[in-house]
Every structure is written in structure tokens, then in C-alpha cells.
Structure 1
Amino acid sequence: MESAEKRKPLKLNAIIAVGLGNALAFYDLLIFGIFAVQIGAAIYPPDSGVSPLLLALGTFGVGFLTRPLGALVIGRYGDRAGRKPAMMLSFTLTGLAILGQALVPSYAVAGIAAPAMMIALRLLLGFAIGGEVGPSIAYLIEAAPVERRGLYASIQFATADTGALVAGLIGFALAATLDDAQLGQWGWRIAMVIGASIVPFGLYLRNRLDETLHTASLQDAPALARRGVLWIALLGFLIIVSATVGSYGLSYLTVYAQTTLHMATDLAFAGTIFFGLAAVIADLAGGVASDRFGRKPVMLFGSLALVLTLIPAFYWLNASPTMLVLGMVSFWRSTATTLGTAAAIIGFTEALPVRNRSGSLGLVYALAVAIFGGTAQLAVAWLTDLLHDPLAPAYYVLAISLVGIGAMIALPETAPIRVRAHNLSPKG
């Protein structure tokens, strides 16, 4: 058996193959989020008594309900049959669901069948994405040289945020070239077709991957023996809840800029570009820093930076609702949120045993995202309407972030450099 210390670095095509799944998932999530106004107007009845935007955001949230099921079914499949076949299955289902969304007829054409079809496709997509997370992150950590696990796992997060960045660029380009009527009729559909078009390429690359399940070390979860899997799972759940609310709260800024700040559509969409660019940079920086300094210092630094600057950033944005300020606020919030998230999820994954890492990670992640991620945008929209306070999104993200910081403090350190230093230090 090949030891973890002697593993060779993955080739670029292998990293791309693994990362494309999360990239496509995040691409769709951001596309649906930033086009929520247009999707709601196209798919839902205008006179139902409920805002089409809220109905669209509700549909966005419904898709998260099947994530735990996907994590359980596909994640366990990845623990039994291997990471590679699980990733092939989840990626195929993701592509089919996204393409299906682009083809859903409008309410004016299909009536109540239109929202019914969209909800069904969001449920299928949630199932697929729920099954993607565990096998893909497990694969990268198992394939990585031990001293570079943070970097490898951060590449997975960076590809996901690259998907978000691409979504922001495409959304901005469409908003800049199409009028509001065209965006509502078919602009958002074009964006979804573009995402689905990468699926054949991704399947080709994934089919060429080597399996890691049977070569991974079975002795790589030192924190587990001391704390217990349920305790680690609880801490991981709270950390992912905090990261999820921060991330989806960020993506709501595009809708927030349109509905609360009354910014022009193309200017509002520009904020997603800054968000995606910052996330890609912070993902890689967080992974590298966590290899050098440890998982906990990096995750706590990012999370505390977010908490301390969140409300001042929203004050500034509301006082000066320009594209530049929106971009700067998006860039900073994305940097702080992502820096802590990358290190936290790496540490949580390392603390789980190999034999059920794919299923456990996927299930905990899916539950956290299903409960809090799927409702994040709906919650901040509802709170903003209820409180009539433009700072309502900041209050919500701040409260959840404080819970996440508590969990990060309790999570044991798993970075090899810190664990080795602890083991070599004199015992008093």
C-alpha cells in the first residue's frame, strides 16, 4: 500500500476533473440566485398574492431538501464502490437537472405545470449536489501529500468559487447586453445552458481518474479517537452552517442591490464578479496558510474579521450604493468568509475516519446546507421586509457567524504541522 507521505502530486487534469462538479453546482446556485427576480417573473403567476421573487427564492430553498438524501445515497456509494463512480453519478445528474431548468416553459405557456417542473428539477439537483460534496473532497484529501492537504482541498473550493465567478461574469454580460424583458424571457435560460454544456467534458476527465478509496491511510484521523465521531460531526455541522449562511447571504447581495438599494440590474450584477474573484483568491490563500500555520488559526482569523466588519460594511453600502462600493463590500465579505471556510472544512474532513468519510462529510454538509443554506436568501429577504431595516441581512449573518466561531474554537487541530509540533513538545 502506498503511504500518504509518498503520494505524488495530482496532475492538473485530475484536479480539474474533481473540481468541475463543485464548480457547476456553485455556478447554478449563483445563476439561480442572481436571476431570482427574472425566474420568479417567468415561472410563477403574477397575481397569486405572493411575490414572484419570494416564490423563486422558496423554490431555490426547496432544492436543498433532497441534499441529505443525495449525501446518504451517493456518499455511501462512494464509501463502498469508490469515490470515482460516485462523482461520475452526481455530475451526470447535476448536468441533466441544470439543462432541464433551462427548458422549463414559462407560466404563461404551461400554467401551474411550470413551477411544478422547476421544483422537481431543483429537487433532483439538490440530490445530485448532496452526493457530490463528500466523494470529491474526500478524493482530494486522500490523493494529496499529507503536508499539502490544505492546498489540495482549497483547490476544490477555488474551483467552486470559480464557477461562481464565471456565473457573475456571464450574468453581468447578459445584463449589459439584454434589456429587462429579454433577461426575463430567455437570458437566464442561456446562462443555464452554458453551465450544462461542460458536463460531457467533465465526465470524460472524471472517467480517467485513479481511485483513492483503497489506497488511503486508515490512520489519518487522530482527533477522532480523542473526541468521538458524533462530537466532531456536531462541530462540523455548526461550522458549515456558519459558512453556508455567510456564502448564500453574500450571493443575495445582487438581489438586495436591485430590490433594497434600487440599483440598475447591470450594476447590481457586477458585485458578483468581485465576490467570485475574492473567493477564488481566498480559497487558495486559506488552504496554503492552513498547511503552514494550522487549520484553527486561519479559520478563526477569517471568521473574526467578518464579524468585526460586517455591519460597518452594510452601513457604507447603504450610504453610498454605487457599483464601486458594492464591489468593495462584496470583495471583502467574500475574502473573510472564504478564508475561514476553506480551513474549517479541511479540518473537519481530516478528523473523520476514511471508512465512512465520504458519507459522513456529505451528510453533515448536506444537512447544514439544507436547513440553513436553502433558507438563507429567503430569510434575509423576509427579515428585510419585516423589519424595514436595510441592515437585516447583516444581523442574520452576524448571529450565525458567532455560533460558527464557537464551534471552530472547540474543533481539534488536525494540520500535520501543528499535530507534529504538539506531539514533540515537552509534556508537563
Structure 2
Amino acid sequence: MSDTSTAYDAPSSIPKPKWRPIIQAGLVGNIMEWYDFAVYGYFASIIGTQFFPSEDPAVSLIAAFGAFAAGFLMRPIGGILFGRIGDVYGRKRVLTLSVLSMAIPTVLIGLMPNYAAIGIMAPIMIVVLRMIQGLSVGGEYTSSVVFMIEKAPKNRRSFFAMWSIWGAIFGIMLGSGIGAAAAAIFGAEALADWGWRVPFLLGALVALTCFLVRRAIHAEEQNIGSETPVRDTFFMHLGDVFKVIMLDIGYAVTFYVAFVYLVTYLKVIDKLPEEEALNINTGSMIILLLLIPITAILADRFGRRPIIILGYLFLSLGAVPFFEMIHSAETINIFLGQLGFVFGFACLTSALTVANVDMLPASVRCTSYAVAYNAAVGLFGGLTPLIVTWLITETGDPVVPAFWVAGTTGFSLLVAIFVYKETRPRHFAK
């Protein structure tokens, strides 16, 4: 394992009153990032008709999601770009820049004239804005995680780390909630005409709050890391990057199966009404938000490695029975099956995040973590809906996605057992 002893080592303890600004700085940025993710997805059909008009509504929707996908294609580049800023110029600076690069395009989308007003420039500008947001997404989560873990007391690192994923999940729920409220308040006609813009413009309030919180944080960052973090990541620490990727594969696949693909599965395979499918998914995410702090405390108490192993073991052994419950078409069984994935994923969140940071040298940590995390999420998580849809089509077995989950989590379980070495204090902060 690479030496991680640098100026960024976490303090042994900090006063509790100083916890709040550190946690807030990581939390609010991820709320902003994933608020936009949810709002764009919620209004994709309207955006399609406004900016990508076609006689076939399906073509407009596909084009809108194409612009959405363009943002994800920029994530690896954004990870390297913002990671380098964080390693060379400091964590505070990258946190401020990343939220601005998400907030400004979000507001501009809300103000952008549609195709009827400016023609072909409308869809071009939407794609450009989504690409800028993709750059931000590529660096925001990993940079905020690194910042919080490095600022956390050594015995509270999992507790601090969990606020990034907590903020991401809350941001998705906030975006969906505001989108649903806009639909209820404005009605279908006004929503399609101009009401869809309101949630994007409200993103300015979230962004302003985030910017002020991050500008106010006190971060002493002398002796920043390497001056060439991108080169050092690929030529000196590539082995560490691959270890993180292998450890995160099961995590990425589980997230995209349980919280992205499953809504489509419930509607297409189980034939559930859309409202019921969304309610089940929302309920499971609420429980996930409640479980994450508990598993983070356990990871700080007993170590990250045992909690990671527990989560992966639970998922690899439980994936098939969980999916069989989900395919039962009984609402209560579907919900309990998804809760199985929720528990396993909750065990992985903050414990795995701290493990990732431990495995990477601090001098290139923002860059190397961004590369590793975006590779795992992009290659394995992002392709998962496509892979499991293809598996069902080819085999005709509606439970076959479980084997993809079991295989990838089983692989990462072996990495957790034989590759990852725990580095944690033996006492628990009171």
C-alpha cells in the first residue's frame, strides 16, 4: 500500500463545534450536484419537446437523454481536471470551483430560449451546458470526500465521509420532490410551457448556500501535493488506482441496480404502475438515509474492513433471493427484497469511501481517487442497466440481474479480504 503520511493526515481530534462547517461543506455540494441530476431526469420529456423537437416524441426524449448522457461522458475528464486542481492548489479551491461549474449551467438551462426561439443553437447549448456539468460531477464527489476525510478526526472518518453520499441521495429526493410539487402546482399545460424552468432556477438558491458555506470554511493547506498529480497517478500509482477500482466494482453495480435500474424493472418486468414503483424506490431511499449513519458509526467502532466484508457478503449471497422477492409482484415482498440491497449498500457507503482514500497517496489523492471512482462507476455501474437488460433479453430469466450483482460483489468481496489492508486506530473517539 502506498504511504499516505503527508500534510493531509487527519488530526487525532478536533473540537465538536468545528465539525459542522466541515460536514456542511461536503454535504451541500453533493445535494446541489444530484438535485440537478434528478430535476433534469424528471423533466426530460419536456426538455425533449422544447429543445429537440421532432414529429416522434420518442425521438425527442432520446435526444434529451443523449444530452444527459453527454454529461456522464465528461465525468472522467472532469475527475482528472478537478482532481489536479485539488492536489496542486488545495481542497478548498476545488470545492468552490466544482459547485460553480454545476450551478451556473443549471440556472442557464432554466433561462435558455427553446428551439422555437433560437433554432439549432438551443439544443447545442443544452449539450454544452450538460458537458460542463459533467465536468463538475466528475470532480465534486471525490474531492468533497477527500476533503472531509482529511479534516476528520481519525476515529470519526467514516462518520464524516458518509455525508457526501447522504447529500447525494438527499439531493435526488429533493429534486424529485420539487419536480413533483411543480407538476402539482402549475398543471400539465403551464408546466410544459414554462413551469419546468422553476426547479432549475430554484437551484440557484441551493448553489448560493453551497458557495457561501464553502467560501467560509477554514482550510490551512501548505505543502499541497505533487505538482504533476496526473502523471504521477498514471505512472507511479496506477496499481493503487486499480485496487480501488476492483474494490468499488460491486458497490457501483449495486447502486445502479438497486436505485437506478430497479424502477424500470418494476414497471417493465413486474408490470407495476409507475407511481407504485417510484413510491417503493423512494421509501427504500429514505431507509437508506437512516441506515447510513448507523453503519458509519459501526465502521468507526469496529473498522472499515469488517463492515465492507459484511456488506459484500450479504449482497453476494443475498442477490438471488432478493431478486426473487422483487419479481414476486407482491408489493410487500418487492419492498423487502429491495431493503436487502439497501442494507448491503448501506454497509459499503462510508466504510468503502474511507478505505478508498486510505489506499491512495495524499499527494495525488484527489486525482487518483477521481480516476478510480469514475472508472468503476462509469465502466461497471453506468453500463449495468444495459448489461442486465441484455441478459434478460438473451436468457428470458427475469432474475438473471441478480447473478450480475452476485458476481461483481463476490469479486469485490475477495478484494476486500485479500487486498485491502485496514489502517485504523484501535480506540474509538468518545
State the distance in 2 between where 1:151 and 1:126 align: 27
State the distance in 1 between where 2:65 and 2:380 align: 13
Residue 87 of structure 1 and its aligned partner are, at CA, apart by 0.5
Q: Judging changes above 3 Å, is the alpha-carbon distance between structure 1 residues 49 and 199 closer, same or farther for their aligned structure 2 residues?
A: closer
Deviations 1:358-406 (A, max 9, x none): 1211222123233334433444455555655543544443333333223
Deviates more, 1:96-105 or 1:150-159: 96-105
State the distance in 1 between where 2:12 and 2:300 align: 14
State the distance in 2 between where 1:51 and 1:330 align: 32
**Does 1:201 pair with 2:206?**
no
Residue 80 of structure 1 and its aligned partner are, at CA, apart by 1.6
Count of residue correspondences: 410
Q: How does 1:252-271 map to 2 (within 5 A)?
A: 252-271=261-280
Match of 1:248 among 241, 250, 256: 256
Q: How does 1:17-416 map to 2 (within 5 A)?
A: 17-33=25-41, 44=52, 56-103=64-111, 115-171=123-179, 173=181, 189-214=197-222, 229-249=237-257, 250-320=259-329, 322=331, 324-381=332-389, 383-384=391-392, 389-416=397-424
Deviations 1:60-107 (A, max 9, x none): 333222112212121111112111111000000111232334455666
Q: Judging changes above 3 Å, is the alpha-carbon distance between structure 1 residues 306 and 111 closer, same or farther for their aligned structure 2 residues?
A: farther
State the distance in 1 between where 2:54 and 2:266 align: 22
Letter in 1 for 2:165: F
Letter in 2 for 1:166: L
Secondary structure at the counterpart of residue 364 of structure 1:
helix
Letter in 1 for 2:303: G
State the distance in 2 between where 1:24 and 1:207 align: 16
Residue 189 of structure 1 and its aligned partner are, at CA, apart by 4.5
Query: Kindly, what percent of the aligned residue pairs are identical?
Result: 27
State the distance in 2 between where 1:132 and 1:164 align: 15
**Does 1:5 pair with 2:12?**
yes
Residue 120 of structure 1 and its aligned partner are, at CA, apart by 2.3
Contact 1:63 1:124 in 2 (8 A): yes
Q: Judging changes above 3 Å, is the alpha-carbon distance between structure 1 residues 375 and 177 closer, same or farther for their aligned structure 2 residues?
A: farther
State the distance in 2 between where 1:118 and 1:241 align: 31
Secondary structure at the counterpart of residue 273 of structure 1:
helix
Residue 229 of structure 1 and its aligned partner are, at CA, apart by 3.6
Gapped regions of structure 2 (runs ≥ 5): 1-6, 227-235
State the distance in 1 between where 2:123 and 2:392 align: 25
Letter in 1 for 2:69: G
State the distance in 2 between where 1:85 and 1:110 align: 36
Residue 197 of structure 1 and its aligned partner are, at CA, apart by 2.8
Secondary structure at the counterpart of residue 425 of structure 2:
helix
Residue 159 of structure 1 and its aligned partner are, at CA, apart by 2.0
Contact 2:88 2:225 in 1 (8 A): no
Deviations 1:144-169 (A, max 9, x none): 11111111111222222222332344
Residue 206 of structure 1 and its aligned partner are, at CA, apart by 0.5
TM norm structure 1: 0.81
Deviates more, 1:48-57 or 1:262-271: 48-57
Secondary structure at the counterpart of residue 250 of structure 2:
helix
Q: Judging changes above 3 Å, is the alpha-carbon distance between structure 1 residues 135 and 95 closer, same or farther for their aligned structure 2 residues?
A: same
Deviates more, 1:165-174 or 1:142-151: 165-174
Contact 1:236 1:345 in 2 (8 A): no
Contact 1:278 1:332 in 2 (8 A): no
Residue 213 of structure 1 and its aligned partner are, at CA, apart by 3.4
Letter in 2 for 1:368: A
State the distance in 2 between where 1:36 and 1:314 align: 29
Residue 195 of structure 1 and its aligned partner are, at CA, apart by 3.6
Secondary structure at the counterpart of residue 319 of structure 1:
coil
State the distance in 1 between where 2:374 and 2:101 align: 16
Q: Judging changes above 3 Å, is the alpha-carbon distance between structure 1 residues 316 and 263 closer, same or farther for their aligned structure 2 residues?
A: same
Letter in 2 for 1:287: A
Deviations 1:252-305 (A, max 9, x none): 323333444443333232233223213322322222111111111111211222
Secondary structure at the counterpart of residue 252 of structure 1:
helix
State the distance in 2 between where 1:75 and 1:288 align: 28
State the distance in 2 between where 1:199 and 1:296 align: 35
State the distance in 2 between where 1:187 and 1:300 align: 47
Aligned partner of 1:225 in structure 2 is none
Gapped regions of structure 1 (runs ≥ 5): 219-227, 422-428
Deviations 1:332-359 (A, max 9, x none): 3233223213211211102222211112
Q: Judging changes above 3 Å, is the alpha-carbon distance between structure 1 residues 177 and 363 closer, same or farther for their aligned structure 2 residues?
A: same
- RMSD over equivalenced CA pairs, Å: 3.6
Contact 2:249 2:381 in 1 (8 A): yes
Residue 209 of structure 1 and its aligned partner are, at CA, apart by 0.5
Residue 35 of structure 1 and its aligned partner are, at CA, apart by 5.4
Secondary structure at the counterpart of residue 164 of structure 1:
helix
Residue 128 of structure 1 and its aligned partner are, at CA, apart by 0.7
